[in-house]
Amino acid sequence: MLSREQASAMLSLQAEMNRKIDPQWVAAAYPYLRAVIVEGSEAIEHHGWKWWKKQERDLAQLQMELVDIWHFLLSEILLREGGDQKRALTSLIRLLDAKTVDEEIDFDGRTWRLDRLNLLEKFELLIGLSANRRIDLTLFGSILRGCEMEWLDLYRQYIGKNVLNTFRQDHGYKEGSYRKLWSGREDNEFLAEILAAADPEQPDYRELVYSELAKRYPA
């Protein structure tokens, strides 16, 4: 499970990213759970669902979709608290600590037992709950495990993606002067190496990742 410090760090990063996209993002009240519906549908595509043809599950893409979904869940939690990060942290911790009996979810007049659902059915349930403006992190955690991820893996990938996006913006991405290729390799390859070597339990994990990127970026 996430620590309070890790949860706080992700909420802070998400609020910062939302402000970069639109300084008035709270007033705009974007439909973040609609984005969860779309990302969940894309995850189903990466899993493969067509019974009339052979399909292979793309685990790496599934995990990336989960990181994207997490961005929007964090944004929705922040939005519900008017952008107040302290209140959002309290709300997020409450959602993380919530334990449903036998992992049962009451929805649409039925009781859904997570241990009886396959991964595709869990994504469908996530989409249904999102369409009804509900956030259930017990379900999300179950989907994480189904995609061979733990909460710490989510934290590591989330921080990495946000730091790289911020690094790009700070080094001229919007103006077109940023270079994605560093000595013949893409920046996300360097990021993967940094994430593999860094300890996500460190309190200054985000700063460490950013610093290591800066060391490798061609002057």
H helices of 22-111, in order, are 25-28, 32-47, 59-80, 85-97
Task: Dump the DSSP string for 163-206.
Answer: HHHHHHHHTTTTTT---SEETTEEHHHHHHHHHHHS-TTSTTHH
pTM of the model: 0.87
Kind and range of the H or E run holding 7: helix 4-21
Q: Measure the CA–CA gap between 196 and 42, rounded to whole angstroms.
A: 27
Candidates 143, 120, 126; CA nearest to 49 is 120
What are 110's strand-pairing partners? 107
With a cut of 60, say whether residue 27 has pLDDT above it: yes
> For 33-42, how does the pLDDT look when each residue is reduced to its tens digit (9 = 90+)?
999 999 999 9
HSE-CB of 119 using CA atoms within 13 angstroms: 20
> For 100-144, how does the pLDDT look when each residue is reduced to its tens digit (9 = 90+)?
556 899 999 999 999 999 999 999 999 999 999 999 999 999 999
